[in-house]
């Protein structure tokens, strides 16, 4: 199966808000296929999360697998996710598949100190059209949920970098222009 193209910083869909997905669409074959393709693409590039706008589709869909390569753990597919509770603050390292440049296996743009909420609770719809809830506290999943949900609002992790000089340096080094 061909992998999806992961759009790189500068592409319009990365900075556009995404639309809600309706119940009927979730059942459709095309949607199921998109979910499958996004998961395969995420794994192929060693990502722990991928949002639909990163493959050019401005819809509220994200896939996450912070347990990878643990094959027993199922990936998360979150449709219309919404942060309904947030608490605390934590700074940690972050990267993004849309900031790799052309060599998708390279490190790409990477920042050591991106500020996120420590704990979040997210409500979302699953593939069975059921509303679900997930909580994450101080771990990679918490960070990943916030990063991917930001993508659905057209917000990128570089928007959360505080050191603008370092941001400029990193972007230039990787061939990106602000």
N- to C-terminal Cα separation, the chain: 34
User: Measured from the CB atom, is 63 or 96 closer to Zn ion?
Assistant: 96
Q: Which residues contact 44 (CB under 8 A, 6 or more apart)?
A: 3
User: Measured from the CB atom, is 25 or 95 closer to Zn ion?
Assistant: 95
Among 62, 96, 114, 158, binds Zn ion (CB under 5 A): 96
148 among known catalytic residues: yes
CA distance 169 to 149: 26
Cross-strand bridge partners of residue 135: 121
Minimum gap (Å) between residue 86 Cβ and Zn ion = 19
List the catalytic residue out of 5, 94, 135, 148: 148
Q: Determine how many CB atoms are found less than 10 A away from the CB of residue 7.
A: 17
Q: Which two tokens stand for residue 103?
A: 């060599």
- Does 14 contact Zn ion by CB under 5 A? no
- Does 63 contact Zn ion by CB under 5 A? no
User: Measured from the CB atom, is 112 or 131 closer to Zn ion?
Assistant: 112
Q: Which residues bind Zn ion (CB under 5 A)?
A: 96
Q: Provide the annotated active-site residues.
A: 148
């Amino acid at each position: 199966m061909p992998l999806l193209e992961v759009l790189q910083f500068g592409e319009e869909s990365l900075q556009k808000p995404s639309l809600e997905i309706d119940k009927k669409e979730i059942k459709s074959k095309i949607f199921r296929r998109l979910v499958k393709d996004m998961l395969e693409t995420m794994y192929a590039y060693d990502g722990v999360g991928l949002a639909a706008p990163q493959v050019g589709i401005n819809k509220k869909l994200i896939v996450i697998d912070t347990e990878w390569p643990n094959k027993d753990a199922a990936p998360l597919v979150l449709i219309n996710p919404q942060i309904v509770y947030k608490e605390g603050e934590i700074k940690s390292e972050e990267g993004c598949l849309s900031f790799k440049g052309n060599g998708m296996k390279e490190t790409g743009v990477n920042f050591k100190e991106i500020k996120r909420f420590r704990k979040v609770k997210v409500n979302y719809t699953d593939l069975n059209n059921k509303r679900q809830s997930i909580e994450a506290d101080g771990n990679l999943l918490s960070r990943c949920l916030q990063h991917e949900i930001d993508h659905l609002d057209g917000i990128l992790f570089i928007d959360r970098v505080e050191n603008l000089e370092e941001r400029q340096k990193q972007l230039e080094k990787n061939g990106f222009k602000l």
